[in-house]
Amino acid sequence: MYQHSDLLSELCDFLYPRSPYYGQIKPEYLVFNAHLQDFSQRVNYICSLQTAGKLSPEQAYKQIHVLWKQLKSAKKQF
């Protein structure tokens, strides 16, 4: 069971890498940074899918646009 847990943890680290935050330490900044990194990761996946021909440019644009709106609303909450 322990080995399975390690493998899952390593897989999550690989699929969803996180960079350390070096800015001013405030809870709202840390939360926004997490949202920003999630946005970046999702845009990367969408771009990869579009490059591989799995998504049309229009679909990719629409999905990224929705993600951008979500990021903007997260920023406004702070």
Q: What domain range is 44 assigned to? A: 26-78
> Residue 30 falls within a domain, yes or no?
yes
Predicted structure pTM score: 0.76
> Residue 3 falls within a domain, yes or no?
no
> Residue 78 falls within a domain, yes or no?
yes
Q: What is the pLDDT of residues 25-78, one digit of tens each?
A: 999 899 999 999 999 999 999 999 999 999 999 999 999 999 999 999 988 887
Measure CA 59 to chain center: 18
In this predicted model, which residue has the larger pLDDT, 65 or 1? 65
Q: What are 7's two structure tokens? A: 């493998």
What total number of domains does the chain contain? 1
Find the DSSP H helices in 1-78.
2-15, 27-51, 57-76
